[in-house]
Homo-oligomer: A and B are copies of this chain.
């Protein structure tokens, strides 16, 4: 399992990590399989979505910000909305690998979703 570091600059930010994952896959050297991309944090997550038009990323950031229900939150750190969003999108994705790189759809990229930034996060990559 290899570790990457990803830094964000905003409270809620989708950061494209596709190229960084492909770099790690190059270090691992396995040509084919399925890749686990795992985020070991409870106020961030991993999604796959369009990375061609940056408006999509910004639209998603605004939508996630408003997707948290208006309920009472008791957790003293005050970041329960981020824990909720992290639960919705999940801590990981499994992605096909071919020729030593992620095999994605034409418009797909992999994003770290920061819900409680700005911060520096770890992402773990393992190929099966």
Contacts and interface: CB of A to CB of B under 8 A. Distances in A.
A90 B88 CA distance: 9
Nearest to A79: B56
A96 B39 CA distance: 11
A8 interface: no
Counting contact residues on chain A (CB < 8 A from B), the size range is 35 or more
A40 to B, nearest CB: 3
The secondary structure that dominates the A interface is mixed
A18 interface: no
A96 B38 contact: yes
A72 B65 CA distance: 12
Contact of A59 (B38, B70, B84): B84
B48 A90 contact: yes
B124 A96 contact: yes
A108 B68 CA distance: 21
A59 B47 contact: no
What 5 A-B pairs come out closest when comparing CB atoms? A40-B105, A66-B69, A42-B50, A59-B80, A55-B75
Interface of A: 1, 33-34, 36, 38-42, 47-50, 53, 55-56, 58-60, 62-63, 65-77, 80, 83-84, 86-96, 98, 103-108, 122, 124, 126, 128
